[in-house]
Chain A
């Protein structure tokens, strides 16, 4: 350990924990301002998320979405690219899932549809990231701005498609017909013996999400491409001298990132809604940024961060039910504070902590 640094465990576990604690402290003040007891609120929230089977099922379901969008942001982070377009990529990914399901659900069982739906989600999500990627790589247009613009373009495109092209015949609802059994993923509790999640939609996508984590870990830390991505992210000039093509890395990384974001739609569309509908992404793409930041862009960290956010979503719904003064919007406030403290203010506590570790480790180094 060098002077002015922290041990790795402090960097990866203690720092995020402190930041989240700060976010929860401020959230507690908000609850207090509304006139409710923050400790009761935490108790209801945690119980709602983990205290009963159905709660756990919902927590895992939400966590699945966050794993995908979190991984998407994290992969781009490793190349020091900021993909803020997970929202749009997931939305368009839903189109890929729906096309596969609508084409096949009446003819084949779900396990034939599934690989095509997953591939469709990844392909459509990646395609939506492709133009911003090319513009960044070849024309230097900032990927943050272009992906924001593409989120809005995706929203318009999907509304147009759902209203004018894909809507169920004779229906005014902007949504497709409901998929038959061939377009539905099995629920987790039907696969796992002895587990019952009640009416929670936790489904096979959770397993796909964990596989995506494994894929990302292997990709980033065990392949040549991953090494190039990390090199490019750490120092672009050095990467060029090492013979790494910035254009290729930028485009490939953004394609992988967009594909992962798109796969979020598998969970929502094929796993739960069983139809394509408008605004099903509803912020999961943006929360992926918080998940990636908290998880330090590591798949394992992302799984934990995703479960934390899944807990907030599910527990927050319970909280809104038990304490009517606190609406579901409280979840958004907590999310915002987590993004603020774990992301934008991540350097606030760091110098103090480094100093603290310096004092603690000083006698030890003198003895050695």
Chain B
């Protein structure tokens, strides 16, 4: 049972890193990116093929190096960012909102089918495998898993510190201004594309890093292990936790991965219909997204406002108030404005 929990929590931790990356792109910069799962998968593939050595027929894949695990992860992140720089340059130049999403969704499926059908790249449908115990054989099987969980937790913590620091920095503020109104941001001298592009690459880099961790966790990876649509689970996590708030995103990842994905495994399926359980899990995640959007669209821990530190509502009090994303007031509200005075 302890091993089972370690496995689940390790997974939640790895996806927490991925969620932080996606949240930068969507929560901060406002771009609903659907290709992040490709960056994650590319991170997994790259890490595996750079650590397991030459391919033996009939298995085939590129590179086939035997690098130390950590070095492989670093190179994988570099490759992912380079790759994202191409997709980002195309998708972010002139496309916004749903057009941006469609483009990135097209990109991820193109990559998916390429990986699945072009065998020389990552062994196609059968995938790559063989990475196990990147620490060498110094630890026992169980001890290794506990160690790896602690390692992932450390990485998540460091990534969280980094992202949190960026989130509250002038850079994070500027990116959010671009998100809220990019024409106004360019009127105040901000290069909109460059702001979004840098955020996109940073988020993609985190996706690649989480892929590097996942490679060591899962050991083998093939197209059955990832579907581009799984990104909606991560968006559910971000929505539950709080879009734009790194702390909320980490919380949301744990709630969704532990609470929804894993707990729903216990939903009994009748022997005649074994597919009922997994389908029900998807339905529950869809329902979770809808309920959050209806009742708490800014999440459990809403995005934090940049204030001067005075007269800020305590976060626990915000729990009891409705979402603070208010509707636009009508122009005639001016008439009864307490500050500007009543209409003369």
Is chain B a partner of chain A in the same complex? no
Chain B residues in the interface with A (C-beta under 8 A): none
